[in-house]
Amino acid sequence: GQIIPERRFVEAINRQAYQYEMGDFPTEWEAWIRKKRKDPPTIEEILKNENYREEMKQKIKDVSEKDKLLQAKEYKEGLVAERVHTHVKGHASAPYYGKKEPSQDPTSTASSFQPGSWMPPGSGSSHNK
């Protein structure tokens, strides 16, 4: 009197079951196994979807190349400003943000305070007073 749900599974042919990873078999089969679709896929359907995916990848590649060329043309003509590449040297909460040598000036970043260091006269530092 009990209804047993249908079990769907794939039998491994060339590999052990634990060697399979996500994407090793078509997504249509995966959808059928996970009961996202009612009927199992046909070979024609799988091939049609695979060809469609390849066409879309090619179209995306073509569009991105055209976009890069258009951006380069606009940069050259001065219509669009080029991207500025910033280099992050540290974090604002670091006590020695961007500094390699001690300074005569006090430094305050975030919740820390670093008093200025005494530098002997004529030591060649950039902060001569």
Give the separation between CA 124 and CA 40, rounded to whole angstroms: 79
Q: Are 110 and 92 in contact (CB under 8 A)?
A: yes
Q: Please report the DSSP string for 21-34 in residue order.
A: -TTSS-HHHHHHHT
pLDDT of residue 53: 94
The mean pLDDT value of the chain amounts to 78
Residue 63 has pLDDT above 80, yes or no: yes
User: What residues form DSSP beta bridges with 112?
Assistant: 109
pLDDT of residue 81: 72
| Token code pair at residue 86 | 């910033």
Residue 56 has pLDDT above 90, yes or no: yes
pLDDT, tens digit, 9 for 90 and up, residues 72-121: 888 888 777 777 666 666 666 665 555 556 667 777 766 777 777 777 77
Taking alpha carbons only, the member of 26, 31, 27 closest to residue 8 is 31
Give the separation between CA 45 and CA 28, rounded to whole angstroms: 9
Which residue has tokens 């009197």?
A: 1
Q: How confident is the model at residue 47 (pLDDT cuts 50, 70, 90)?
A: very high
pTM listed for this prediction: 0.49
Q: Across residues 3-29, what is the average pLDDT?
A: 77
pLDDT of residue 94: 62
